[in-house]
């Protein structure tokens, strides 16, 4: 990348960030691009409105679910060393692993954990344990409280539970706590000097906090909860770092497993395996998945991506092997995901010259809505689908298992326990768009807003898919 092109990217990103944050009440945003040996980082706004601390280029933030790619990298490191076999049952290494459905855990392979095809129904299971035994407590709790959504390998559903079980598996095989393993095997060799795994570490340096909109004043207010419990570490609850650190990790995957420092972190074979399609639902709202990475098709270009929600914040890491580019961003309000999508599409179309085809080109008018009506459930989540004025209407309700779960989820969601009803219009049988959105809104990362229904039997869909997550007909 020549200096002029780099200057253009920096100026454009700075302009987009300032305009979006100003008009959408996002307090702060930090973004980085590495392309062809050159790198820029742009910071805008405020890291914490309570203190007025500015968002800086080296301000830390919660990685959220971007951590899942780090966890997957740790698993593949053990495969490289001959300590794990992807096609062995998890219980071979983790005999205590069980689910509420007898025998169900025995069928889950190591590969299913990191490929989101395990079927563990635990997406909103938040046990509030701390310290070295947090993941052990999480796995123990699965046996009494969490069942299955589908047979392993039968479907694809974004899985926090699978990644957390993978984290516990890492602990048992290596004899090291997950956080220590992450620091030793990822942070150090990759070159992520400003990354940590706790609020205690984060407070020693500049760190952003998430914000939610105050519905009375419409002003952003800081979250009441900085991180999710330690039990969610491997899925993204606790790791914290900077844009430069995430770019270094992305560059490691860009370079076939070799870190910017020259240290080999992962074999070329395992790095490539993570980037290969391991499951494809063949539905526009759910991109194919590799191991750890989600594989977003933008025309002929594949974007390896993972986004990460944290309490009041959202991060994104994208690696484009075909274009030698890494993109990382964080905004300290959930609405920043729209800005991340906007910048990603600008980088693709304007900077790289990638043609982004329309994902949805037309809507079918006469789609039978009856097969999709009903109640769908997953762990502590209920979705009621009905027909109202010729459109599908969904009502989503959180049903907490206990007071502890309710407290954690409510704080994570900024005080909301149910969403207002949402209407959907048919694109084609089994695929729906939220009413009122322009069709081009779904060309990029926000294709996750589309809803699909799957496995229609006897005139009824068995599964609903929203945001890559399945709920099953009750």
Active site residues: 65
Query: Which H or E element spans position 113?
Result: helix 110-114
Are the C-beta atoms of 149 and 160 separated by less than 8 Å? no
Residues 6+ apart with CB under 8 A from 290: 115, 273, 274, 275, 276, 277, 278, 304
Q: What tokens does 19 get?
A: 């305009």
Report the distance separating Cα 90 and Cα 97, nearest Å.
Answer: 8
Report the distance separating Cα 117 and Cα 152, nearest Å.
Answer: 6
Q: What is the 3-state secondary structure (H, E, C) of 129-171?
A: CCCCCHHHHHHHHHHHHCCECCCCCCCCCCCHHHHHHHHHHHH
Are the C-beta atoms of 129 and 230 separated by less than 8 Å? yes
Are the C-beta atoms of 26 and 36 separated by less than 8 Å? no
Report the distance separating Cα 12 and Cα 303, nearest Å.
Answer: 21
The gap from C-alpha 249 to its chain's centroid, in whole angstroms, comes to 16
Are the C-beta atoms of 54 and 295 separated by less than 8 Å? no
Please tell me the total number of residues recorded for the chain in this structure: 474
Query: Which H or E element spans position 23?
Result: helix 3-24
Which of helix, strand or coil describes residue 281?
coil
Are the C-beta atoms of 105 and 181 separated by less than 8 Å? no
């Amino acid at each position: 990348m020549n200096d002029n092109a780099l200057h253009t990217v920096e100026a454009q990103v700075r302009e987009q960030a300032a305009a979006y944050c100003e008009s959408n009440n996002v307090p702060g945003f930090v973004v980085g691009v590495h392309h062809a040996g050159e790198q820029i980082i742009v910071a805008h706004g405020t890291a914490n409105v309570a203190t007025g601390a500015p968002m800086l280029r080296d301000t830390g933030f919660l990685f959220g679910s971007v951590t899942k790619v780090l966890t997957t990298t740790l698993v593949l490191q053990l495969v490289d060393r001959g300590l794990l076999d992807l096609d062995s049952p998890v219980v071979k290494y983790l005999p205590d692993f069980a689910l509420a459905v007898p025998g169900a855990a025995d069928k889950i392979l190591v590969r299913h954990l990191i490929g989101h095809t395990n079927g563990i129904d635990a997406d909103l299971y938040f046990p509030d344990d701390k310290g070295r035994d947090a993941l052990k407590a999480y796995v123990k709790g699965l046996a009494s409280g969490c069942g299955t959504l589908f047979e392993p390998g039968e479907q694809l559903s974004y899985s926090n539970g699978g990644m957390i079980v993978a984290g516990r598996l890492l602990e048992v095989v290596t004899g090291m706590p997950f956080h220590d393993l992450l620091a030793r095997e990822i942070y150090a060799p990759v070159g992520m000097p400003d990354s940590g795994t706790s609020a205690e570490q984060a407070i020693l340096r500049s760190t952003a906090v998430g914000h939610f909109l105050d519905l009375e004043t419409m002003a952003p207010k800081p979250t009441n909860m900085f991180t999710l419990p330690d039990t969610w570490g491997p899925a993204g609850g606790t790791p914290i770092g900077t844009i430069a650190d995430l770019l270094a990790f992305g560059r490691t995957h860009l370079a076939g497993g070799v870190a910017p420092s020259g240290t080999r972190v992962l074999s070329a074979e395992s790095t490539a395996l993570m980037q290969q399609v391991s499951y494809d639902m063949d539905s526009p709202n759910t991109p194919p998945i590799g191991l750890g990475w989600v594989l977003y098709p933008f025309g002929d270009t594949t974007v390896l991506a993972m986004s990460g929600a944290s309490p009041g914040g959202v991060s994104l890491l994208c690696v484009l092997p075909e274009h030698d580019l890494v993109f990382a961003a964080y905004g300290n309000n959930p609405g920043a995901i729209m800005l991340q999508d906007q910048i990603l599409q600008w980088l693709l179309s304007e900077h790289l010259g990638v043609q982004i085809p329309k994902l949805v080109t037309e809507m079918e008018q006469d789609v039978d809505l009856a097969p999709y009506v009903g109640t769908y459930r997953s762990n502590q989540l209920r979705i009621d689908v009905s027909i109202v004025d010729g459109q599908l209407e969904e009502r989503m309700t959180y049903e907490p298992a206990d007071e502890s779960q309710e407290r954690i989820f409510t704080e994570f969601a900024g005080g909301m326990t149910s969403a207002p009803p949402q209407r959907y219009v048919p694109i084609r049988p089994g695929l729906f768009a939220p009413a009122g959105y322009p069709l081009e809104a779904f060309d990029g990362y926000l294709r996750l807003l589309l809803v699909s229904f799957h496995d229609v039997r006897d005139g009824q869909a068995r599964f609903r898919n929203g945001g890559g997550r399945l709920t099953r007909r009750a």
